Amino acid sequence: MEIKNYFIEVPSVPDSLTAVEEFIIQITEDLNIDEDKLYGILLSVSEATTNAIVHANKKDPAKVVLVSVTVENNILTVKVKDQGPGFNPVAVPDPTKPENLLKDSGRGLFLMRIYAKSLTYIPSPQGTETILVFEV
């Protein structure tokens, strides 16, 4: 099977999330990925992009988020790269604990772990790269 690569770079503003979601939907349609898998992919990438825009890049329009997608042998790999200072995923509160159940946010990493085959973070001085791997 051939390797397919896709890229989009967006400014760190909340409206950019729509462009990233449309980008992911177009790729999954081009690849004929079924709707059940599309939901998990789209939700995970939306959460990773939101984290990059809001938490890492602090909605700074001068900073960008790069989303790259590679498809090879029924494996779809999405990389979301921000320009933020990084974070400690272990320090993120567990959204399933009673004290966190009613919070408006804090479920993104939890949801990504549910839907992705694997979830990895690569920190660097230039920002963090979140890598999501899905079987398609």
The model's pTM = 0.88
Q: How much is the average pLDDT of 11-21?
A: 98
pLDDT for position 111: 86
Q: How much is the average pLDDT of 101-124?
A: 80
Q: Which CATH number fits the domain that encloses residue 128?
A: 3.30.565.10
Neighbour order of strands in the sheet with 75-81: 4-11, 64-72, 75-81, 127-135, 118-124
Give the C-alpha separation, 46 to 53, whole Å. 10
Q: How many domains would you assign to the chain?
A: 1
Give the C-alpha separation, 59 to 136, whole Å. 32
Give the C-alpha separation, 80 to 75, whole Å. 16
pLDDT for position 17: 98
pLDDT for position 52: 97
Give the C-alpha separation, 49 to 10, whole Å. 10
Check residues 9 and 86 and name the one with the higher pLDDT: 9
Report the share of the chain in percent with pLDDT over 70: 83
Give the C-alpha separation, 81 to 122, whole Å. 9
Average pLDDT taken over every residue of the chain: 89
pLDDT for position 87: 67
Q: How much is the average pLDDT of 71-89?
A: 90
